[in-house]
Amino acid sequence: MSNVEKMMSTEEKKAVETLLFQLADDDFLFSYCGSEWLGLAPHIEEDVASSSITQDSMGHAAMYYKLLEDLGLGKADDLAHLRPAEERKNSVLTERINGDGYYMDTPQYDWAYTVVRSYFYTQAKRAKINSLKESTFEPLREVAVKASMELYYHVMHWKLWFEQLLSSTEEAKAKMISAIELVVADIGDLFSYGEQKELIERFGLIDSEEKIQNAWLEALRPTFEKLKLDLPIVPEPKLNGRNGQHTDELQAAIDTLSEVYRLDTATNW
């Protein structure tokens, strides 16, 4: 048991665990969706780039799961693969499918949707990571400093796609606009800490929901102004993933991503 842990009250430990599960599950699912583009991205350079981002994001998820393991919550790999949908704390946005079809069959994934989701998600992650650098929980501060360096390149990448597609043909613009609507409809719980909001904020683990949301909007503002678009209005979540409310898309994702792991949980994949 670490010193940090010994000093924590039951309430504080609960708050740390809850936040870690939210951060871990977000990156894990986001990364899973990203991995489905492998071999399918618009061109070879993009295939390399988005796979690289996906790999980094999986590394971030692994680190959060490792912190949970250190807190005595179970093996990191088990936490990632074996928890049922109703225990997952990821935002609904990260569990949405990339589009119609199945990876092994005839995938008809939506690149515009992926660009918008990735840009909005990554920019929100940036706001959180910036705040986590000041967290009262030391291991989170350390993770934030390291992840931040990698995230820098991710934000740059998705922002470039976002701006270019929205400055492109009428068809591209129309696709991007409808993708923005779809993404915004799901974005409410990305800025929510769910039922543990009060605890998470009280212990100063991360800035308040409102502050993170504002930091996100401010980060988007210059891009939106340049493109002459109205800043999105964050809706109240219809389903709140932080409280274990999810779509069927999450169950399908878990079934697929844990298929190999479940074959033999003792093997080092």
Partner 1 sequence: MVALIKNSQNLEVWKVLESVKDPEIDTVSIVDLGMVEKVEVEAEQIKVTLLPTFLGCPALEIIRTNTKNAVMGLSFAKNVEVEFIFSPPWTSDRVTENGKKGLKEFGIAAPPRHLEEDGSWHVDCPYCDSTYVTMENIFGPTACRSILYCKSCKTPFEAMKPVSTIM
Residues that bind partner 1 (CB under 8 A): 45, 48-53, 55-60, 62-63, 142-143, 145-153, 156-157
- In the bound complex, what is the minimum distance in angstroms from residue 52's beta carbon to partner 1? 4
As measured in angstroms, the least distance from the Cβ of 5 to partner 1 is 17
Q: Is the Cβ of residue 88 or residue 154 nearer to partner 1 in the bound state? A: 154
Q: Which CB sits closer to partner 1, 142 or 209?
A: 142
Q: Which is nearer to partner 1, 55 or 167 (CB)?
A: 55
Nearer to partner 1, 139 or 194 (CB): 139
Compute the least distance from the CB of residue 248 to partner 1, in Å.
28
Query: Which candidate, 204, 230, 257, places its Cα nearest to that of 90?
Result: 257
Query: Closest separation between CB of residue 142 and partner 1, Å?
Result: 4
Q: Which is nearer to partner 1, 16 or 147 (CB)?
A: 147
> Whole-number minimum distance, CB 187 to partner 1, in Å?
25
Q: Look up residue 246 and give its two tokens.
A: 């999810």
Minimum CB separation of residue 148 from partner 1 in Å reads: 6
- Decide whether 119 or 191 has the Cβ nearer to partner 1: 119
